[in-house]
């Protein structure tokens, strides 16, 4: 598959795999830090845009309910 026909998800994964091959010790440090803090880009990158939209609507709804019931 050429780079022009790659989807963004495939390209991110290919670049991540190349980085792991070049610097395995740095990758281990990144993995520990990502586990502690979480990463919104990885979360949204793994979901479709529809699921991301649903999550945002639910969060907005929950916040709205808490504001009006307070």
Q: Over the stretch 35-62, which tens digit does the pLDDT of each residue have? A: 555 566 666 666 677 888 888 899 999 9
User: In this structure, are residues 39 and 31 in contact, taking their beta carbons and an 8 Å threshold?
Assistant: no
Q: Which residues are CB-contacts of 9 (< 8 A; sequence separation ≥ 6)? A: 45
Average pLDDT of the segment spanning 64-70: 89
The model's pTM is 0.40
- Residue 7, classed as helix, strand or coil, is coil
**Would you state the pLDDT for residue 62?**
94
Distance, CA of 14 to CA of 30 (rounded, Å): 17
Residue ranges per structural domain of the chain:
1-38, 40-70
Rg (CA), the chain: 18
Distance, CA of 58 to CA of 36 (rounded, Å): 25
26 versus 19: the higher-pLDDT residue is 19
């Amino acid at each position: 598959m050429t780079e022009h026909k790659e989807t963004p998800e495939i390209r991110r994964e290919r670049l991540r795999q190349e980085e792991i091959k070049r610097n395995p010790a740095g990758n281990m440090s990144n993995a520990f830090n990502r586990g502690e803090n979480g990463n919104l880009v990885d979360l949204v990158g793994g979901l479709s845009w529809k699921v991301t939209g649903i999550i945002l609507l639910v969060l907005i709804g929950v916040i709205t309910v808490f504001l009006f019931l307070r």
